[in-house]
Amino acid sequence: MFDELAEKWEDFRDWWKERGPRQWINDNPKVVITVACVSAAVLVGSVFMHSGANGIQPIEQSKKQWYYDLNTGELFVAAKGLAVPTKAPSGSLANGEPAGVRACVLSFALEPSESEQFIGFLEKPDPNATSTTGGKWSQGRLIRRVEDRQWFAAESRQGRAIMEDAFIADVNGERPSYVRPK
């Protein structure tokens, strides 16, 4: 029995040296194509089975947005897309203008607590802009840091610097992402 196995092993080894798997594949293309198709079908089937009800969920668009009260320096949440400046909880500014502007709230954490969030910059439309529709996001927008008093055009050198600072990577090389309000 061992002699028989040794002989078969030697035959296989000789075949491997002479012809090898490449020659077998060249001689049997239908078998190779069938195996590849079956493998692809199994892969697709397993992806569908694992992405069922508990699988990939669509991202829900938030109906809320972050705003910042210029009087109190506090964040508040209101309906998404309000025209800014908008009414703030504290009322109006000294000049009678509404005190609410949009806030870009960021965090390095995936599910941040309130203490892990920070305001990247504030935003409002430029009253001197001719149009804010179409084109780039930055057209017709003014931005500033919370601690700044002056607003800058988002497309200006200062505006770009503010946005770059807001999204600067941490010590681990991770960049912050927008925090959707709850």
Q: Which residues pair with 79 in a beta bridge?
A: 64
Q: What is the pLDDT of residue 23?
A: 75
Alpha helices (runs of H) in 28-177, residue ranges in sequence order = 29-50, 157-166
89-110 residue pLDDT tens: 999 999 999 999 999 999 999 8
Instruction: Please give the structure tokens belonging to residue 47.
Output: 């992806």
6-43 residue pLDDT tens: 888 887 777 777 776 777 777 778 877 888 888 888 88
Which residues make Cβ contacts (< 8 Å) with residue 3, sequence separation at least 6?
Answer: none
Q: Which residues pair with 68 in a beta bridge?
A: 75, 101
Which residues make Cβ contacts (< 8 Å) with residue 68, sequence separation at least 6?
Answer: 74, 75, 76, 100, 101, 102, 103, 119, 122, 146
Show me where the domains of the chain are located: 2-50, 64-178
Q: What is the pLDDT of residue 12?
A: 76
Angstrom distances, CA of residue 126 to CA of 25, 47, 175: 68, 48, 28
Instruction: Please give the structure tokens belonging to residue 134.
Output: 């179409």
Q: Is the dihedral of CA 133, 137, 139, 143 positive or negative?
A: positive
Q: Is the pLDDT of residue 53 over 60?
A: no
Q: What is the pLDDT of residue 151?
A: 96
128-172 residue pLDDT tens: 877 555 566 667 899 999 999 999 999 999 999 999 999 999 999
Q: What is the pLDDT of residue 130?
A: 73
Q: At what angle do helices 29-50 and 20-27 cross, to 10 degrees?
A: 90
Spatial distance between the Cα atoms of 33 and 181, rounded to a whole number of angstroms? 51
